[in-house]
Amino acid sequence: MIRQALRRNPWSFLGPFSTQLLAAALVAAGLGITTSIDRAPLDAAARRALTESGLADVAIIFVMVAIYLSIIIIGVTMAATIAQQARDIALVRAIGATPGRVRRSVAAQAAIVAVPATLLGVPLGSLGGRAWIHGVVTHELAPAAVSFHPHPAALPIALAVTVGTSLAGALVAAIRPSRMRPAAALADSAAPRRRIGSVRTVAGLILVAGGTVLSVSIADLDAETTDALALFVMLALCVGAGLLGPALLRVTALVGRRFGDIGRLAGDTIAVRAKALSGALVPLTLAIAFTAVKVIMLGTVEHETGTAPPAADRWLEYTGTAVYVAFAAVAAVNTLVTVVLARRRDLAVTRLAGATRGRALAVVICEALLVTGTALVVGAAVAATTTLPMLHTALGTWTPWLPAGWVLTGVLSTAALVLAGTALPAALTMRRPPIEAVHQ
């Protein structure tokens, strides 16, 4: 089953592979930064100043980010990968495979993919760590004596992280498909159910409500505590929105149906594939929210005080944000690519029924724009809920300030990500004659 999954659906593993590669790179970079700081030939005063600067803490944060984002995002991407194997899983369950065997198979797939991803990610992480050390020295955040030294055990440690997080994320993603009765699984693989599970809905509502309540509660605390707890607000809202994603996308589908024939077709497709597309909402919302919070905080501080943050601090802040966004963007694009590749037959049948290649692609682009709009609205809501208490405790204001140029950049970047994950693979898929895709 493991060999068959890797052979029949190689592109569906691109998401887990990319996530594991980024995680390995981040672990290797974080470990290398720690080693570089420890080995720097500094006197006692310089060593104390470097310790107090908190740069070593950044390296630890990189490793922690790699761990928890990997579990979340590998779970998301593996769920899309498992969806491609729905019929195969149903068949092996029908001939006697136990739920435990299915879960072990899925976990083994993720772990096997983690090995080559780590082997590529560790050297890339060393390059990234070297560039980061060069940046902090250039911005005079660290003495010139600090130079990059890779951690001698970066590879085994990175393997432990990627394989461990892959197993955790994959096991979570495999719970539902492994528990389904064989007959129900076969029926579901032929005609996926549109109903949203009550457990998923309740969990999503609890997370959204909990994140909102926490946001209100921390608005009266000190600024340092509020900043620390705001991350949990954001994560709770992002994951909650992801769980409620199918419902949100079905609302979007109703909006899409108002825009002519193409909009109706796009809305119908989104409504049917809402559960699959919702897997991209978590990473998209994370990317939008993380970026928006950072830009709003720095922009509002400058707007309210009239003083721009030092270039070095700004560089350090944006470096950390780039890490979150990279994880989220890769996961979103690869989840969307997996969903589109699963529609090869549908697109081919549409063309055989008389639709031109341009019309079929226009429907996919319309779907992409509708998903983009959903992600932007949800991401903006998460960013606002996260940022407002931080602004209140730090600056005494409830009014965020965001330059129009940043808003436009955010909208265009999100649209580009979604189009890259939907329209581009759809266009490449439709280059083949439709009759070949139908019989593939």
The tens digit of pLDDT for each residue in 150-163 reads 999 999 999 988 88
Mark which of 140, 172, 192 sits at the end of a domain. 192
In this prediction, residues 192-203 reach a mean pLDDT of 73
Q: Do 221 and 291 fall within a single domain?
A: yes
pLDDT greater than 70 at residue 185: no
pLDDT in tens, 118-128: 999 999 999 99
Domain encompassing residue 206: 194-440
How many domains in the chain?
2
pLDDT confidence of 208, banded at 50, 70, 90?
Answer: very high
Q: Do 16 and 116 fall within a single domain?
A: yes
Q: Do 107 and 238 fall within a single domain?
A: no
Q: Do 164 and 231 fall within a single domain?
A: no
pLDDT greater than 80 at residue 226: yes
**DSSP labels for 111-173?**
HHHHHHHHHHHHHHHHHHHHHHHHHHHHTTSS-TT------TTHHHHHHHHHHHHHHHHHHHH
Give the whole-angstrom CA distance, residue 340 versus residue 335.
9
The torsion angle over the Cα atoms of residues 32, 35, 41 and 42, rounded to 10 degrees, is 100
Contact 262, 369 (CB under 8 A): no
136, 138, 150: which is closest to 50 by C-alpha? 136
pLDDT greater than 80 at residue 267: yes
Amino acid at 61: I
Mark which of 176, 192, 208 sits at the end of a domain. 192
Give the whole-angstrom CA distance, residue 62 versus residue 132.
12
Q: Do 178 and 200 fall within a single domain?
A: no
Of 18-32, 168-182, 302-316, 393-407, the range with the lowest mean pLDDT is: 168-182
pTM score: 0.77
Q: Do 224 and 352 fall within a single domain?
A: yes
Q: Do 176 and 321 fall within a single domain?
A: no
Mean pLDDT of the chain: 82
Q: Do 185 and 110 fall within a single domain?
A: yes
CB atoms within 10 A of CB 26: 29
CA distances in angstroms from 347 to 8, 254, 429, listed in the order given? 19, 22, 9
Q: Do 202 and 171 fall within a single domain?
A: no
Q: Do 283 and 179 fall within a single domain?
A: no
* pLDDT reported for residue 309: 74
Q: Do 119 and 200 fall within a single domain?
A: no
Mark which of 192, 227, 251 sits at the end of a domain. 192
